[in-house]
Structure 1
Amino acid sequence: MAFTLEQLRGFVTVADELHFGRAAARLQMTQPPLSRQIQKLERTIGAQLLERDNRSVTLTPAGTAFLTEARRLLALAEAAPGLARRVSSGSAGLLRISFTAASAFGGLGALLNALSGRLPDVELVLSERVTRDQVAALRNEEIDLGMGRPPVDAEVFDSRLLSREAVLVALPAGHRLLVAGRPLTAADLAGEPVIMHSPLEARYFYDLVVRLVDLDHQNVVHTVSQILTMLWLVEAGRGLAFVPASARRLGIAGVGFAELAVPADMPADPVELHLIWRHDARNPALWSALRVLDDTSAASHDA
């Protein structure tokens, strides 16, 4: 048999007053049923909590230890309904966000600041995944919100453009092309060794670069999936790489950046980062987060 919250309240009140009569008055009850509550509680626990005689009431060592836990349980019980209401409304709870490595040095920080500022009682749990793995995690309901690259299956997911940025050419410091003074063309890059995006692990960037530049794949010396790895290879003089403009923020001293000429039929800032979530997501905190990000986006456009 488990003890009840009523028994806990009775015990805590008696422990505060150290007097059954005063405790009963505080609880707006008579003394005999309060005494029976405490006796039932002691039988359930299997330990004596109070020493009582005609003149005084004192806590036993077991009672002193139990009092701390009893207060904690009562506090949790009192807070639980409010917490449930806040979780139901989306103002509290847990939001699991996954992001690509490139977005970590792009828009991730601003997004987290906006959410934590407006939803302080929502715990943000982060994980790094490539877009393909984000989509799988969203399907399996392992995460609530992704920060990844298009396209996505519109029958299952909603998405929203979060940011756009240019593609830059990363070159070893001192490279002759860094002083060209203009956007670089495919002709400028002919014959240069290239560190290329993996067509499997970084398919979005691979397809984008192929559309931007007519590359001779015989010049590809390394194929990798992470922007940071590319830049370290550039710094080592292994070749040039095509990276999003936010990669500049990584501040690798031995790497310089040049603009890339973009074909007329493509936007000047072709790298897109999207928020991605399930149509049928059940986490109220997700919908609250999306409203916050809507407001933040609207405010930035009005500024």
Structure 2
Amino acid sequence: MFTFDQLAGFIAVAEELHFGRAAERLNMTQPPLSRQIQKLEKTVGAELLERDNRKVRLTAAGTAFLEEARRLMALANRAPLTAQRIASGSSGLIRIGFTAASGLSILGPLLEKISAGLPGVDIDLHELVTGEQIAGLQSGELDIGLARPPINGDFFDSYLLQRETMVLAAPSGHPLTELNRHVREDDLKDVPLIMHSPGEASYFYDLAVRMLQIQHANVVHTVSQILTMVSLVAARRGVALVPRSTSLLGIQGVDFLPLEGSAHYPVELHAVWNRNITNPALSQTLKVLGYRDD
């Protein structure tokens, strides 16, 4: 197998087309340089240079080999820097899980922040519900999750990214839109309600039942996704309790009304990570997002 010294010697001779100048460029004498080239040609199994007393020329094989030799030397010179960047976390890959709801508001600005602060880090996105993200964090398939509470502090660390209020999504023109005040619990007594699934959207379900005395006889649909919920509101199937950021969907035919007491039941979104993960890009990403491990 050839060595990088042999490659460097060949490149110098090929560029100078003169053994003496090439040897001077490499701070060596001509005889050992000639031996390096001979060993390289023997290893390659082809004559790379034509030599006579007056000049040196590249053979066709030598011309082709020169391009590959330069590429190999560039890779060799770049490898230590690449390793240093990976070790420091300024390069590499960060795998992020996110919920559909988090994609409505915070995901875009968050990705812009990471890309600006760590341009050498590639981002791999996975749309998953919170339970699936937690499983991915446990298995090591994800580095960061954008998830809702509760978060198991025995295994995970977390950082609050966003806090917002719940609002009432109602069909445009619905009598509730004419109140000109915060919607109260009594206002919903006989109103058809589109409700979060207690199993697949337990975080939002728990918030809703803590905020209001839900009249289950009024529940006309139970769904797990915010987008589905608002689409049903637009179809005038009922009203729904959703995070304020849902208004960013821009679905026509839906108004978003303030709810009395909603400030006491904020919707939280956290960055969550497995504290045993050693990906250097993880710690750098968290710093970019504002987390400080003091």
1:292 has 2:291 as partner:
no
Deviation string, structure 1 residues 19-62 (Cα, Å, up to 9, x no partner):
22211111112223222322333333333333333333222333
Q: What's the secondary structure of 2:290's corresponding residue? A: helix
**CA spacing shift, 1:10–1:169, aligned 2, 3 Å:** same
d(CA) in 2 for partners of 1:202, 1:47:
68
Name the CA shift for 1:54/1:203 in 2 (closer, same or farther; >3 Å).
farther
* Alignment match, 1:117: 116
Q: Map 1:1-303; keep pairs closer than 5 Å.
A: 2-262=1-261, 267-268=263-264, 270-294=266-290
Shift of 1:269: 5.4
Q: Structure 1 residues 262, 16: closer, same or farther in 2, change over 3 A?
A: same
Q: Is the 8 A contact 1:198 1:225 kept in 2?
A: yes
> Matched residue of 1:95: which SS?
strand
Q: Taking structure 1 as reference, are residues 208 and 61 closer, same or farther at Cα in structure 2, changes over 3 Å only? A: farther
- In the alignment, the residues of structure 2 paired with residue 147 and residue 211 of structure 1 have an alpha-carbon distance, to the nearest angstrom, of 23
Give the letter for the 1:275 counterpart.
A
Instruction: Tell me the amino acid that sits aligned with residue 91 of structure 2.
Output: A
The alpha carbon displacement at 1:292 in A equals 2.4
Instruction: Give me the whole-angstrom Cα distance separating, in 2, the residues matched to 1:200 and 1:37.
Output: 71
Does 139-148 or 62-71 show the bigger shift?
A: 62-71
Q: Secondary structure of 2:101's partner?
A: helix
RMSD: 2.0
Change in CA separation of 1:201 and 1:35 when aligned onto 2, cut-off 3 Å: farther
Contact 2:159 2:291 in 1 (8 A): no
Query: TM-score normalized by structure 1?
Result: 0.89
Deviation by residue 1:97-128 (Cα, 9 ceiling, x = unmatched): 21111111222222222222222222222221
TM-score by length of 2: 0.91
Say which SS state the counterpart of residue 213 (structure 2) adopts.
Answer: coil
Query: Structure 1: which 4+ aligned runs deviate by more than 4 Å?
Result: none
Structure 1 CA distance for aligned equivalents of residues 186 and 148 of structure 2: 29
1:224–1:51 Cα change, 3 Å: farther
Structure 2 Cα separation of the partners of residues 49 and 233 of structure 1? 73
The letter of the residue matching 2:16 is E
Amino acid at match of 1:271: V
Letter in 1 for 2:145: G
Using the TM superposition, give the Cα deviation of residue 295 of structure 1 relative to its aligned residue in structure 2, in angstroms.
6.9
Q: Which runs of 5+ in 1 are unaligned?
A: 297-303
**Gapped regions of structure 2 (runs ≥ 5):** none
Give the % identical residues: 58
C-alpha distance in 2 between matches for 1:269 and 1:4: 67
Residue 101 of structure 1 aligns to a residue in which SS? Answer: coil
Alignment size in residue pairs? 292
Residues 23 and 169 (structure 1), Cα distance of their counterparts in 2 relative to 1, 3 Å cut? same
Letter in 2 for 1:256: D
Change in Cα spacing, 1:191 to 1:53, as seen in structure 2 (3 Å) is farther
Residue 232 to residue 67, structure 1, CA distance change in 2 (3 Å): farther
Contact 1:164 1:269 in 2 (8 A): no
- 8 Å contact kept, 2:207–2:265: no
One-letter code aligned to 2:276: D
Query: CA, structure 1 residues 295+219, in 2 after alignment: closer, same or farther (shift >3 Å)?
Result: closer
Q: Residues 154 and 60 from structure 1, CA distance in 2 versus in 1: closer, same or farther, beyond 3 angstroms? A: same
In 1, Cα distance between equivalents of 2:98 and 2:209: 24
CA deviation map 1:136-163 (0-9, x unaligned): 1111111111111011111110011111
